[in-house]
Amino acid sequence: MTMIKNDLFLRALKGETVERPPVWMMRQAGRYLPDFMKIKEKYDFFTRCRTPELATEITVMPIRQVGTDAAILFSDILVVPQAMNIEVEMKPGVGPWLPNPIRSAQDVKDAVVPNVYEELGYVYNAIKMTKKELDNEVPLIGFAGSPWTIFCYCVQGQGSKNFDKAKQFCFSNPVAAHELLQKITDTTIAYLKGKVEVGVDAVQVFDSWGGMLSPEDYQHFSWKYIQQIIDALKDDIPVIAFGKGCWFALEQMSQSGVSALGVDWTCSPENARKFTNNSITLQGNFDPSRLLSPIPEIERMTIEMIDRFGKDKYIANLGHGILPNIPVDHAKAFVNAVKNYKAK
Ligand code: CP3
């Protein structure tokens, strides 16, 4: 394996002692950056994803302009259902939009487990180009949505406050629901293995809507499938699992073979350490809205967050994606506060 010049992120994933924690931001390659907005005016969303030159340019932007310690490939979790023959559009002002959501056992049968090299080759090309452009400066993170989070969009057909139709499908037609979850899981495993082959340095599974489920339902409809992904990948590459609102599952997640767990801002650093028996690298959990605070307050809160998690076995991040209305200098203040951190 080639040496990465700034390997803080990879060392934190191994639990090694570091001078300071690494920092990156979920959804860092996007909407708060003026240069991204310029590209967005010219090319629609999936064109940006499917054109390696554009995906590379956007992926590298936060490295050059904000100075994060890791890059995350510009793409979307919903390229996976697209590859499964489920139509997904990105409607300006609305977000993800699926004209034919999955609502029956027959719809599930019609979803295919694709050849990922054929259907998602453009992602692999973007990774290869990005790796070249990064020239081993910082590691590159590949990602996928969790099967449950992908299922939510496939069945609901769009974003939702409660994903009621997705849950209804699970509870009224569990056999078909599990069949779809398994198809998504099989596709995701193949997809992520392909990313490893072309050179990503770590992968993150985003379970953005895991916290919509009760702890019991979470086991059956979400965790079971994430564990399959971890089992399939963990010997090849560090895996990070981020479950928004899933603090109740942290203990079990910490025993799954992952390298790190993402935490959102509703769980205190102390509780996150307690639930995981202080045994694993944690990532998070700055409230993205807190980046709207005055800069001195951002700096103070960031240092406090590191003090509370501890500088080792820790990756500084937000507790969910960065918001479009965050001023770039506020994002930089967050990143620089981590980079200037001095252990007490
Ligand atoms: O750091 C990065 O930006 C990397 C690329 C990335 C995107 N989406 C680009 C994107 C990543 C890692 C994602 C993950 C993603 N996508 C998740 C999981 C993380 C999370 O935020 O919970 C989810 C749930 C999605 C689905 C999705 N894609 C939604 C709900 C939306 C619309 C609302 C929004 O956030 O803007 C998208 C569109 C999307 N994906 C945009 C970007 C930069 C904005 C739309 C655009 O640029 O046209």
What is the count of structural domains for the chain?
1
The verdict on the CB of residue 133 being under 6 Å from ligand 1 is no
Domain assignment present for 117:
yes
**Does residue 153 form part of some domain?**
yes
* Annotated binding residue 28: yes
pTM of the entire structure? 0.97
Cα 339 to Cα 319: distance, rounded to the nearest angstrom: 18
List the residue whose alpha carbon is closest to atom 31 of ligand 1.
Answer: 95
The verdict on residue 334 lying in a domain is yes
Is residue 313 lining ligand 1, measured as CB closer than 6 Å? no
Instruction: Evaluate whether 138 touches 130 at the Cβ level (below 8 Å).
Output: no
Residue 252 marked ligand-binding: no
Over its length of 344 residues, how does the chain's per-residue pLDDT go in tens digits? 579 999 999 999 999 999 999 999 999 998 999 999 999 999 999 999 999 999 999 999 999 999 999 999 999 999 999 999 999 999 988 999 999 999 999 999 999 999 999 999 999 999 999 999 999 999 999 999 999 999 999 999 999 999 999 999 999 999 999 999 999 999 999 999 999 999 999 999 999 999 999 999 999 999 999 999 999 999 999 999 999 999 999 999 999 999 999 999 999 999 999 999 999 999 999 999 999 999 999 999 999 999 999 999 999 999 999 999 999 999 999 999 999 999 87
Domain region containing 206: 8-339
Burial class of residue 315, CB neighbours in 10 A (0-12, 13-18, 19+) = buried
Question: 209 in ligand 1 pocket by Cβ < 6 Å?
Answer: no
From residue 277, alpha-carbon distances to 10, 198, 250, 266, 318 in Å are 21, 35, 10, 18, 22
Q: Residue 302: inside a domain, yes or no?
A: yes
Reduced 3-state DSSP string for 63-132: HHHCCCCCEECCCCCCHHHHHCCCCCEEECCCEEECCCCCCCHHHHHHCCCCCHHHHCHHHHHHHHHHHH
Whether 344 is in a domain gets the answer no
Domain membership flag for residue 1: no
155 assigned to some structural domain: yes
Question: Model ipTM?
Answer: 0.92
Strand order in the sheet with 71-72: 71-72, 140-145, 202-207, 239-243, 260-263, 281-286, 314-318
Is 44 among the domain residues?
Answer: yes
Residue 116's domain is classified under what CATH number?
3.20.20.210
**Which ligand 1 atom is nearest residue 44's CA?**
48
177 in a known ligand binding site: no
